[in-house]
Amino acid sequence: MVFSCIPFLFFFLPLCLILYYAVPFSWKNGILLIFSLIFYAWGEPIYILLMLFSTALDYTNGRLMERFGTTRPRRTVFLCCSVCINLSVLAFFKYADFAVATANAVLGTQFAQPGIHLPVGISFYTFQTMSYIIDLYRGEVKAERSYAAYLTYVSMFPQLVAGPIVRFSDIQEQLHDRRLTFDWFAQGLLRFMMGLFKKVLIANQAGALWEEIRVLGAANTSVATAWLGALCFTLQLYFDFSAYSDMAIGMGRMLGFSYNENFRYPLTAVSVTDFWRRWHISLSTWFRDYVYIPLGGNRKGVTRHLFNIAVVWFLTGMWHGASWNFILWGVYYGILLMLEKYLWGRALAKLPRPIQHAYAFLIVVFGFVIFAITDFGELGSYIGMLFSFGAGRLADTRFLWYLGNYGAVIAAACILSCPVYPWICQRASGLSRKKSCALSACAGVGVVLLFVLATAYMVSDTYNPFLYFRF
């Protein structure tokens, strides 16, 4: 998506909010829909037709299911129609090139790749439309009678291109009746600003160091530098993606919508299982509710349970991208979750808490190396750097130079990846009124200073989109 944060922050969002609050409530969805479509068309003018097709398909099938789906077989027809077409569209745009390249590699053929451009956010809004029709089939929601309201739900610009994956059941009532208060607006604005600071001041800086270390090559990299690079990518991805979620939740709240949390300090997890309860929660729960549980979950014996885990994590890897490294990443986590469940999970839970944290953190950091590098040759070389302890290159002057220049950012990132902010809020709630006002004033000054600093970075930096835009 050819989209810059600067015009969005300083033109698009303020203009939307001004008009949104100026019109009567009955017009607010219309204003939101118009700005959402403009937002998507700004970067993907042709693929807005694809999103309109997807929403029209599920809306129509939903109305037909409500009217004619008096029996389960009839409802199943409408469900299969929507799900099959949605998945076919997603597979074509996301995996056509990957399928041709794989076939050429396996069969020795030379078929030309279609060269299809991936529509931004297609994985997110496809899962949203599918959740609607599946929940409708299950009887968990009522069919939406207004296509404009349904299109507003799918195209809502705060979460359109990179989540969180918002289910229709979570905001169906809010589409027609929601609260708009000063407190909610202020909370949303603060949450949006927190996301902005995380993206610009931490994620982008950690990402710059990761890119610098990645291109060094084995001959110029020590073990310590390689692990520093892996840590930086982990911090970049976490602060980048959680920043977008913060900004989406904040913008949603400013508009009167309440989105569920998508991250819960995942880098403080004590196991792989715990990590996936905290990381990209909307995706994890989507696969749990629409794939894992329908397959039988853990209710049909050990063999079937292992099979269900394998299916879910193969699909999770595939969802993240049309590349074998993403599939390997999904398999990596699937195997670890199986091992935790049936081999060492109970023993792990008895270990001291710091050891549990270290175990989970190292697994996550190593896993994100697999996630980051799509080329298997480069991936093998980088993994080799991580474990070349016997080569006599544990650390070097370059590593010390990186620590000197980026140490403050890395330290701040590590601290903020822990629940420090909730702890401060909890302690502040017990202060006297006078101290609370003084703390609020200091916090306000800090937010202003951080905003000025973030703006300076945005103006001087090259374009650096959110990592999850590509999914």
Tell the burial category of 223 from Cβ atoms under 10 Å away from its Cβ (0-12, 13-18, 19+): buried
Question: Mean pLDDT of all residues in the chain?
Answer: 87
Q: What is the pLDDT of residue 3?
A: 45
24: cis peptide before it, omega within 30°?
A: no
Alpha-carbon distance of 113 to 322, in angstroms, equals 13
Question: Using H for helix, E for strand and C for coil, what is the string for the chain?
Answer: CCCCHHHHHHHHHHHHHHHHHHCCHHHHHHHHHHHHHHHHHHHCCCCHHHHHHHHHHHHHHHHHHHHHCCCHHHHHHHHHHHHHHHHHHHHHHHHHHHHHHHHHHHHCCCCCCCCCCCCCCHHHHHHHHHHHHHHHHHCCCCCCCCHHHHHHHHHCCCCCCCCCCCCHHHHHHHHHCCCCCHHHHHHHHHHHHHHHHHHHHHHHHHHHHHHHHHCCCHHHCCHHHHHHHHHHHHHHHHHHHHHHHHHHHHHHHHCCCCCCCCCCCHHHCCCHHHHHHHCCHHHHHHHHHHHHHHHCCCCCCHHHHHHHHHHHHHHHHHHHCCCHHHHHHHHHHHHHHHHHHHHHHHHHHCCCHHHHHHHHHHHHHHHHHHHHCCCHHHHHHHHHHHCCHHHCCCCCHHHHHHHHHHHHHHHHHHHHCCCHHHHHHHHHCCCCHHHHHHHHHHHHHHHHHHHHHHHHHHHHCCCCCCHHHHC
Note the pLDDT tens digit of each residue in 212-255.
998 887 678 889 999 999 999 999 999 999 998 999 999 999 99
Q: What is the pLDDT of residue 390?
A: 66
Is 305 among the catalytic positions?
no
Residue 436 in this model has a pLDDT that exceeds 90: no
Alpha-carbon distance of 56 to 109, in angstroms, equals 39
Contact (Cβ atoms closer than 8 angstroms) between residue 329 and residue 317: yes
Name the band, by pLDDT with cuts 50, 70 and 90, for residue 159.
confident
Contact (Cβ atoms closer than 8 angstroms) between residue 122 and residue 140: no
Q: What is the pLDDT of residue 1?
A: 42
Structure token pair of residue 293: 């549980």
Distances (CA, A) of 460 to 6, 87, 337, 453: 11, 41, 43, 11
Q: Identify the residue with better confidence: 3 or 99.
A: 99
Note the pLDDT tens digit of each residue in 334-380.
999 999 999 998 999 999 999 999 999 999 999 999 999 998 888 99
Residue type, 257: F
Name the band, by pLDDT with cuts 50, 70 and 90, for residue 265.
very high
| CA-angle at 286, arms to 282 and 287, nearest 5° | 125
Q: Which of 280, 305, 320, 357 is catalytic?
A: 320
Structure token pair of residue 161: 């291109």
Q: What is the pLDDT of residue 350?
A: 93
Domain range list for the chain = 5-178, 184-470
Residue 77 in this model has a pLDDT that exceeds 80: yes
Residues in the chain: 471
Q: What is the pLDDT of residue 179?
A: 83
Q: What is the pLDDT of residue 286?
A: 95
Residue 433 in this model has a pLDDT that exceeds 50: yes
Provide mean pLDDT across the span 265-290. 95
Residue 293 in this model has a pLDDT that exceeds 60: yes
Note the pLDDT tens digit of each residue in 34-68.
988 888 887 678 888 999 999 999 999 999 998 88
Contact (Cβ atoms closer than 8 angstroms) between residue 85 and residue 57: yes
Q: What is the pLDDT of residue 250?
A: 92
Percent with pLDDT over 70 in the chain: 92
Note the pLDDT tens digit of each residue in 161-177.
777 889 998 888 899 88
Structure token pair of residue 283: 């995706």
Alpha-carbon distance of 437 to 431, in angstroms, equals 9
Task: Flag whether the pTM goes above 0.75.
Answer: yes
Provide mean pLDDT across the span 313-325. 92
Sign of dihedral through CA atoms 6, 243, 322, 376? positive
Note the pLDDT tens digit of each residue in 10-32.
677 888 899 999 999 889 999 99
Tell the burial category of 206 from Cβ atoms under 10 Å away from its Cβ (0-12, 13-18, 19+): buried
Q: Identify the residue with better confidence: 186 or 436.
A: 186
Contact (Cβ atoms closer than 8 angstroms) between residue 125 and residue 51: yes
